[in-house]
Amino acid sequence: MADVTIVGAGNMARGIATRLLAGGSVVRIVAPTIEHATNLADELGRTGGSVTGTGLQEPLRGEVVVLATPYEAALDVVSTRGDELDGKIVVDISNPVDWATFDRLVTPADSSAAEEIAKRLPSNAPVVKAFNTTFAATLGIGEVGGQQLDVFLAGDDEDAKATVARLVKAGGLNAIDTGPLRRARQLEQLGFLHMALQDKLGTGFGSTIKIITG
């Protein structure tokens, strides 16, 4: 299907890798601590599919690179290793929340995490915003309450968005194109709201945002 590198070995990396493997992609997990990457790869490999783990010092390979990290770590990756991402599709999943106060996003009002990441990349490394409104646990099973997960996409490169949409659909999810990369501003606000509602909803991050048409 595709050759995908996931930067990060946390819960979101696990959830996204699970969907990618279900869709037949070859997955490589890279993380600062090689044991975290290899342990996750071993765990996922028990359910089938082609997945390996390695340290972040290794080259970033693959057609698609998913930055499954907090916003600040994603900025560090693209700022220091942007040359390795030239010619690749870069997927940003972050919600740039102020973790100290949990009452705002840290990006400028006229920008987004995805746009700030794009500014630090070569022009031939299109950024697609995706997965920031889906929680890790729900990605593991691909649905909530019998409803297929929606994955909202934003990006300026139509071919890059189409590639990510194919990966999303192959993994059993529904891809929704929300428009250009600047729509990531609204998606990140939506993701933040979804996170903030968890105590009130009492779902333990087991909810989803779903578009239903009649």
Q: How far apart are CA 163 and CA 197, in angstroms?
A: 31
- Specify the pTM: 0.97
Task: For 132-192, list the strands marked E by DSSP.
Answer: 143-144, 147-148, 150-155, 174-177
pLDDT at 214: 79
pLDDT band at 45 (very low <50, low <70, confident <90, very high): very high
115 neighbors 181 (Cβ within 8 angstroms):
yes
DSSP for 201-213, please give it. Answer: HT-SS--------
Instruction: Please give the CATH topology (third level) of the domain spanning 3-201.
Output: Rossmann fold (3.40.50)
User: pLDDT (tens digit, 9 = 90+) per residue, 195-205?
Assistant: 999 989 999 99
* Alpha helix segments (H runs only) across 92-157: 113-119, 136-141
Domain ranges of the chain: 3-201
pLDDT digits (tens, 9 = 90+) for 86-108: 999 999 999 999 999 999 999 99
User: pLDDT tens, 177-190?
Assistant: 999 999 999 999 99
